[in-house]
Amino acid sequence: MPHWVDACAAEDIETEDLIRYDHPDGRTFAIYRSPEDEFHCTDGLCTHEFVHLADGLVQGCLIECPMHNGVFDYRTGKAKRAPAYEDLKTYQTKVENGRVLIEI
């Protein structure tokens, strides 16, 4: 059953950036703060060769993978540029009392 998890403080993520969140069950996620100050969440590993996206570059609504520069739209998870061609899984987010919660 999906449930809400407290992942980080909103202020932990700079605007137009992301951080990595490792859940105790072993899964890893990427949490983004968009230029419009919205929070988004995807799987933490690139679908191409499973590299952590947290070292990548956020530009607008896109995350570029640090390994081979594959690009995804982090709002929808859609793969936008080879060698990434499988979409990322996305998760709901909400902010409560300055904390970012993700539904996983």
CA distance 75 to 78: 8
- Residue 17 within binding range of another protein, rule CB under 8 A: yes
15, 33 Cβ separation under 8 angstroms: yes
- Residue 70 within binding range of ligand FES, rule CB under 6 A: yes
- The smaller minimum CB distance to ligand FES, of residues 62 and 83, is found at 83
Q: How far is the CB of 81 from ligand FES (least distance, A)?
A: 8
Question: Considering only 5-13, 25-33, 53-61, 90-98, which stretch makes contact with another protein by CB under 8 A?
Answer: 53-61
Q: Which two tokens stand for residue 58?
A: 């956020």
CA distance 62 to 45: 15
